[in-house]
Amino acid sequence: MKLLAIYPSLDIRFVTVVLLAMGLSTPGQAEITSLDSANIDDVLNNAAVSIVNFYADWCRFSQMLHPIFEESSNIVREEFPETKQVVFARVDCDQHSDIAQRYRITKYPTLKMFRNGMMMKREYRGQRSVAAIADFIRQQQVNPVKELQSMEEMNTLDRSKRNIIAYFESKDSESYNTYAKVANILRDDCTFLSAFGATSQAERFSGDNIIYKPVGESIAEMVYLGSLTNFDLTYAWAQDKCVPLVREITFENGEELTEEGIPFLILFHVKEDTQSLEKFQHEVARQLISEKGSINFLHADCEKFRHPLLHIQKTPADCPVIAIDSFRHMYVYPDYKDLNIPGKLRQFVLDLHSGKLHREFHHGPDPTDSTPGQEETGGEAASSPPESSFQKLAPSETRYTILNRGRDEL
């Protein structure tokens, strides 16, 4: 190449890196599996770990990532030659928009990780370099389950974290394999430990078992009562313990929470006001447990989110404040004092799902279902429109914009 002719002393390794980044050179034969509707489930379900590049050919950043992703695959394949241990794959989102929609892909390129076919909530957010991606995959191969060599180690357990401890007769068992799969998926949310054989014998008086130790010294442990070999049951139980029903949103995790693709129900409260948080947690558990999975229950520090509060015409002095962020608009719960009214918070969320909040946002309170003077079934004549379940606000910006502006202000 002309570059080499002009600079004959230029380090060949440097030139290779430049060409690699430009997409003009790809050392080795990369093993990147192209996914489509016909093979995606089979490929992902049969791989312990998969990292998938969701891209668009017209996207400049997607073009830049291709050679880096391919070289990362080459390096990882040398270290982990078992083809089902780690899979590098890609999806052309223009050609397979159904797959992009299925995994809620909103920007390119996006790197998502899967374990045995299950998509992890946290996508890859590290550097887009060969070394960084390869190192990320190495970290995913580390066993998240710490083996206890002595039960005395339980005395030094960090009770500021959520801990799950399993007691098995043998490490070579279906029960432990199931437990390890669950631990791999929830490794970022809980600390997983296990003990085997003679070490765990005192805790296995009724057989193999799994327990959960919540945060705090005074809170009693909880025992898993389901089948130890049933992955779905074990995972559901562990997820319920490891992932709080009401999570804190921060500027560090806000983008990750947004990419889960479901609206936010947020309590803004002063950090020291734990009473309001406990009340909110109680009412969410009492009224909205059936809505888990359709909306994220979150709480936020009023001071840190001062700017987003101004966006909904509130200040920290107004806290506690409850609002829904649908990613299109924000709606404020009328009065925090009404939180413990049976069904009030639940109706607020149902009005979001039915479209009532959005409709009233643009057109004002809904008219009554029946005309004035006409009796409704089982009730008196409606004489006035029903009270709106929200206060009308300016349209919300995207969550990214709100978070970035809030961060700039800090």
Output the DSSP codes for 346-388.
HHHHHHHHHTHHHHHHHH-SPPPSS-TTPBPTTSPBP-SPPPP
pLDDT of residue 60: 95
Cα separation, 318 vs 309, whole angstroms? 9
Strands (E), 116-262: 118-119, 145-147, 163-168, 191-196, 209-213, 222-223, 246-248
Look up residue 170 and give its amino acid.
S
Q: Which percentage of the chain shows pLDDT scores above 90?
A: 60
Report CA-CA distances (Å) from 169 to 164, 177, 180, 386. Answer: 17, 13, 15, 62
List 42's β-bridge partners, or say none: none
387 falls in which pLDDT band (50, 70, 90)? very low
pLDDT of residue 219: 82
pLDDT of residue 76: 95
Q: What is the mean pLDDT of the chain?
A: 83
pLDDT digits (tens, 9 = 90+) for 19-38: 444 433 444 456 899 999 99
Q: How much is the average pLDDT of 113-140?
A: 92
106 falls in which pLDDT band (50, 70, 90)? confident
Query: Is the pLDDT reported for residue 78 higher than 90?
Result: yes
pLDDT of residue 22: 41
Burial of 346 (0-12, 13-18, 19+ CB in 10 A): middle
Q: How much is the average pLDDT of 171-197?
A: 94
Q: Which of 68-72, 117-121, 285-289, 367-371 has the lowest mean pLDDT?
A: 367-371
pLDDT of residue 405: 40
Cα separation, 241 vs 214, whole angstroms? 8
Q: How much is the average pLDDT of 109-119?
A: 93
User: 234 is written with which tokens?
Assistant: 């074990």
Query: Is the pLDDT reported for residue 377 higher than 90?
Result: no
pLDDT of residue 77: 92
pLDDT digits (tens, 9 = 90+) for 319-333: 999 999 988 888 999
Cα separation, 256 vs 247, whole angstroms? 12
Q: How much is the average pLDDT of 340-344?
A: 92
Q: Which of 40-44, 100-104, 224-228, 272-276 has the lowest mean pLDDT?
A: 100-104
Q: How much is the average pLDDT of 367-376?
A: 44
CB 302 within 8 A of CB 268: yes
pLDDT of residue 65: 96
* DSSP state at residue 323: E
CB 381 within 8 A of CB 368: no
Sign of CA dihedral 193, 198, 203, 205: positive
Cα separation, 221 vs 215, whole angstroms? 10
Q: How much is the average pLDDT of 149-171?
A: 92
Q: How much is the average pLDDT of 241-246?
A: 90
H or E element, residue 306: helix 306-311
Give the largest Cα separation in the chain, rounded.
93
pLDDT digits (tens, 9 = 90+) for 271-320: 999 999 999 999 999 999 889 888 999 999 999 999 889 888 999 999 99
Q: How much is the average pLDDT of 183-191?
A: 93
* 57 phi, psi to nearest 5 deg: -60, -30
Instruction: Say what the pTM is.
Output: 0.69
**How many Å separate Cα 3 from the centre of its chain?**
46
